[in-house]
Structure 1
Amino acid sequence: MSQTITQETQTPTVPAAHEAPPRGGKLAGRVAFVTGGTRGIGAAISQALARQGATVASGYAGKTERAQDFLHDLQSAWAGHETEFSIHQGNIGNPEDCRRTIAEVIEKHGRLDILVNNAGITRDRVVSKMSDDDWQQVIDVNLSGAFYLSQAALKHMLERGTGRIVNVSSVIGEMGNIGQANYAASKAGLFGLTKTLAREAAFQLARDGKLDDDTIGVTVNAVTPGYVLTEMVQGVPDKVLDKIKGNIPVHRLARPSEIARVVHFLCADESGFITGQVWGVNGGQDM
């Protein structure tokens, strides 16, 4: 296990039923697709969007039984509410799977308002020992996958004139880290992708006459988590955790819900004047 604890989507977490209601309504009527959305930070994001009233489709790569258990627990937690949930399997490193899952969500729920590109992997090795596959697999999933998903989602969003895309990057993309050249490069690449997609979305909406003072528009932003408190941390020695916390100004790890809170804030209609931005949620680690 990497002592860096940077992988945002690695740890399985299923929300308990009592964690669901009460709920807000700022995303009522919206449909969200969260990749890597059945575990770790992705599970927290799925739950947070649902708490704000969104219909939530959660993506996963493998372990179907665990994903189905996650879906069942969400449905049980929101029993009696109108909130809908679904899960969608696919390899984010495969362009066709990216396009297929976007199409599946739109077909099932009738629309797509929010895309959260959260899925990611790590293959940690120092550069001198990193294989071609180690490099390419991480780039394919963490960066190329976000591009293909966003490309498919943007087509739908631009036609409708509204939408939100949030890319989950990492503080490692800003700071780098020994043994994570592939991961750092992929997460840093999301910054350029975010800003370019944001510019292109605004340009195309303006060109098509779909921007005025009353529109919520199509925005694209990024969130950069630092070290996050998930079940993955349970296997890390206390001395290592203490060292990590000592390098974080607030001297603790983030809770998954703290990442999710920023994501659902950026997804709200009222956040339409925020686009092309990178939001750090890392306890001040990058100061």
Structure 2
Amino acid sequence: MWQAITEHINSELECDFQLEHKQQLAGGSINLAWHIKGMGQQFFVKINQREQVEQFETEVLSLQALQQAHCIRVPQVICHGQTLDKAFLVLEYLPFAGETVAGWRNLAQQLALLHKQHEQAMYGFDWDNMLGSTVQPNKWQSNWSSFFSEQRIGWLLQLLLEQGFGFGNIDQLVEQCRQRLQHYQPPPSLLHGDLWRGNVGFVADSPAIFDPACYYGDREADLAYSTLFGRFPEAFYQAYKELYPLDKAYSERKDLYNLYHVLNHAYLFRGAYLVQAQELIKQLFH
């Protein structure tokens, strides 16, 4: 496997990289992560089963979309592909260090600049992609309330129902979600889509984001998720609001947007997330 990956790196970079050291990294509940070195070069490598290659292909498309926005650093894509039994993605290795207040403020300012780019008129993305290992549909729609209620909440409720976990009448819940958002039509922003603390790193005071699940949607969805599992430091939110103030009604939509991620966690990991999803649905819709 490593020989094949090395050959892909050399073919892409037109170099003569020779693998001298590899170290498996902690974290990542979906892919295996490795730091590899040799010949004065180093790379970050993600490995999964061969049939998961589409997950890496869509991750590349999201990374490229963020890179083309020229706002926030993302790891450079080196190559991706398949060996006889594995799928792999090779990225630039970023030597992350500790967090700083300046780093979080820089992230906030760069994210605000990303969200301020309103070049897209509709909600969605050119491709469906993956949120973790869950397919995330991104069919273009012109109405935000329809997009979010159908392709985010309705989609996950249906996936959970197919696994035997029902949370009520899906059509009714989707309609209630749509009504909550029906008079709200935010400008579409390019979103990271999976913006939690585990997908942020810092090289000195310079932030980088990774593992994206991009689509064009309401910027508040990125901000909301950043508060759900390990809230970002307060300096981040202060700096973001200074550059791009939030709507007063954001607090009323935040839990609705986070329901999508709670449902996804319930789908992937079961357990307490199923209870959390049930309680949040009750709180939002009853």
TM-score with structure 1 setting the length: 0.26
Between structure 1 and structure 2, the one with the greater Rg is 2
Structure number with higher strand proportion: 2
